[in-house]
């Protein structure tokens, strides 16, 4: 779970630490504060995975959370872990089908008020002809994070860019704008 420090504030926006002592420790970056902040990232990822899995998004099923790690279901076939999408070469027909699946997942995530915030071929796995979205500690709440729309636009552009390079037709600007508009009008 590696969040680039200069971007962490963008992803944290809208998250609240209710315990005053913990909030003060996080702000002062004390040893306890750093541990509490790391635990908050892990818990946030676990809670986000649970929400999205229940909503039908293609994410690993979360199993258990601890203060410094989360356990998720194995994604792969047999003993072989699923490769990152960036390491998979697709036919144009496969790319079209998986692009649809990826955009569907992005739409369901947004209907749950979640924007991945760093979605790309690096944090999607491909196994058995299906995608699985991973790496969600930085996911933001679209209701409380003012950067949510720009993060959504970037996620869609990254995903469409990958699939376009594999031969699929993708129009990221139109899709992201229409999706955000539908979100704002509660039409997802």
Task: Please give the Cα distance from 121 to 149 (Å, whole number).
Answer: 20
Q: Provide the annotated active-site residues.
A: 118, 135
| The total number of residues written for the chain in this structure | 188
Which tokens sit at 107? 């739409």
DSSP string computed for 27-52: HHT-HHHHHHHHHHHHHHHHHHHHHH
Contact in structure between 142 and 148 (CB atoms under 8 Å): yes
Task: Please give the Cα distance from 176 to 174 (Å, whole number).
Answer: 6
Nearest to 162 by CA among 136, 126, 137: 126
Which tokens sit at 92? 């144009």
């Amino acid at each position: 779970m590696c969040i680039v420090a200069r971007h962490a504030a963008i992803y944290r926006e809208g998250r609240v630490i209710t315990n005053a002592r913990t909030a003060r420790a996080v702000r002062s970056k004390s040893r306890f504060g750093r541990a509490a902040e790391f635990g908050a990232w892990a818990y946030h990822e676990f809670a986000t995975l649970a929400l999205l899995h229940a909503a039908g998004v293609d994410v690993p099923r979360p199993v258990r959370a601890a203060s410094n790690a989360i356990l998720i279901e194995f994604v792969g076939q047999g003993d072989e872990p699923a490769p990152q999408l960036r390491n998979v070469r697709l036919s144009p027909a496969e790319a079209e089908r998986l692009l649809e699946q990826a955009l569907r997942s992005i739409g369901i995530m947004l209907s749950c008020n979640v924007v991945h915030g760093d979605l790309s071929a690096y944090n999607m796995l491909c196994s058995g002809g299906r995608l699985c979205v991973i790496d969600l500690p930085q996911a933001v709440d679209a209701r409380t994070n003012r950067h949510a729309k720009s993060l959504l636009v970037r996620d869609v552009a990254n995903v469409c860019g990958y699939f376009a390079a594999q031969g699929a037709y993708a129009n990221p600007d139109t899709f992201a704008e229409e999706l955000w508009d539908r979100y704002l009008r509660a039409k997802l």
